[in-house]
């Protein structure tokens, strides 16, 4: 793997829920993150492209194309890229076992960390009862979520002018609304049970846009988060330690669309495993 000057190299990098093609996607933030972070293996843990939104209304600005080109460039320079489609990019599920542009498309993967732990890597929608059994409700919820993101962007534009920091409406709701908290807990427990069934040490997933690392259910549960609001990714260090990195900046988060690239963003690491 060839590292560019100033780039931090990791053993593995896990990115999920980018939602390229959706207006809420923070492609500029991800593009900046990818400029400074690389890995021997990069897992694209589903919903990288938002086919649901693209079918409803075509939206594909240059920054979204730049993210795709950046990932393909990393593959050409020696990184192994593994794409595990989610429910929003389910059209790629017809291509399991194939390669395109140096990217492998797989249903699930087993990641062997440097410390010898085995992790199931999967998007996670197959374990979401709403998506699995009530697709119409999932589509309705997706539309409501996009509306909430739009409202949140304008709300934060006002907050920024007043000198306040970014605030996420949906993240607040997930932590405060009882049903949402129960949904997250049930999803995490279901994924942990699947990891135990497969006799692995943990699971790395996405889908619910809630970045976290914990061992609450007997195995390690890791969620990559998203690039719509939280702008988070999971990295594996050379010693096998897994960590969530939040890539943030006042010009990148919660702002209205801007054709100019944002100034330098800074990474802040947190929630080390």
**pLDDT of 268 over the 50 cut:** no
Give the chain's domain count: 1
Cβ atoms of residues 89 and 48 within 8 Å? yes
Residue 68 lies in domain: 10-272
Around 256, how many Cα atoms within 13 Å sit in the side-chain half-sphere? 8
Share of the chain above pLDDT 90, in %: 59
Query: What is the C-alpha to C-alpha distance for residues 161 and 170, in angstroms, rounded to an integer?
Result: 21
Cβ atoms of residues 210 and 188 within 8 Å? no
pTM as predicted: 0.75
pLDDT at 91: 93
Classify residue 120: in a domain, yes or no.
Answer: yes
pLDDT at 273: 46
Choose between 247 and 140: higher pLDDT.
247
CATH code of the domain covering residue 102: 3.60.21.10
- Tokens encoding 15: 């990115």
pLDDT at 134: 37
**pLDDT of 156 over the 70 cut:** no
Tens digits of per-residue pLDDT, 11-69? 999 999 999 999 989 999 999 999 999 999 999 999 999 998 898 899 999 999 999 99
Classify residue 115: in a domain, yes or no.
Answer: yes
Classify residue 15: in a domain, yes or no.
Answer: yes
Classify residue 1: in a domain, yes or no.
Answer: no
Mean pLDDT of the chain: 81
Q: How far apart are the first and last CA of the chain?
A: 25
Classify residue 226: in a domain, yes or no.
Answer: yes
Query: What is the C-alpha to C-alpha distance for residues 224 and 228, in angstroms, rounded to an integer?
Result: 12
Confidence of residue 2 (pLDDT cuts 50, 70, 90): low
Cβ atoms of residues 17 and 143 within 8 Å? no
Tens digits of per-residue pLDDT, 213-253? 999 999 999 999 999 988 999 999 999 999 999 997 433 33
Tens digits of per-residue pLDDT, 170-193? 565 555 444 545 677 789 999 999
Classify residue 100: in a domain, yes or no.
Answer: yes
Classify residue 5: in a domain, yes or no.
Answer: no
């Amino acid at each position: 793997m060839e590292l560019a000057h100033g780039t931090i190299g990791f053993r593995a990098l896990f990115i999920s829920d980018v939602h390229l093609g959706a207006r809420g996607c923070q492609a500029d933030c991800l593009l900046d993150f990818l400029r400074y972070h690389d890995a021997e293996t990069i897992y694209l843990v589903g919903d990288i492209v938002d086919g649901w939104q693209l079918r409803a209304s075509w939206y594909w600005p240059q920054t979204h194309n730049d993210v795709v080109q950046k990932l393909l460039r990393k593959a050409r320079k020696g990184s192994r890229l593994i794409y595990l489609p989610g429910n929003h990019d389910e059209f790629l599920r017809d291509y399991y076992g194939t390669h395109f542009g140096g990217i492998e498309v797989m249903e699930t993967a087993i990641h062997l960390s440097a410390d010898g732990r085995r992790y199931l890597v999967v998007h996670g929608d197959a374990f979401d009862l709403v998506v699995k059994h009530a697709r119409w409700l999932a589509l309705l919820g997706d539309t409501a979520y996009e509306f909430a993101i739009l409202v949140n962007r304008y709300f934060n534009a006002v907050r920024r002018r007043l000198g306040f920091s970014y605030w996420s409406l949906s993240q607040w709701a997930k932590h405060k609304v009882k049903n949402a908290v129960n949904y997250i807990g049930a999803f995490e427990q279901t994924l942990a049970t699947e990891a135990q069934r497969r006799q692995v040490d943990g699971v790395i997933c996405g889908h619910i846009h809630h970045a976290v690392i914990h061992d609450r259910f007997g195995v390690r549960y890791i969620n990559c988060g998203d690039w719509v609001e939280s702008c988070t990714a999971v990295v594996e260090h050379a010693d096998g330690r897994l960590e969530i990195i939040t890539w943030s900046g006042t010009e990148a988060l919660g702002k209205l669309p801007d054709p100019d690239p944002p100034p330098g963003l800074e990474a802040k690491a947190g929630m080390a495993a």
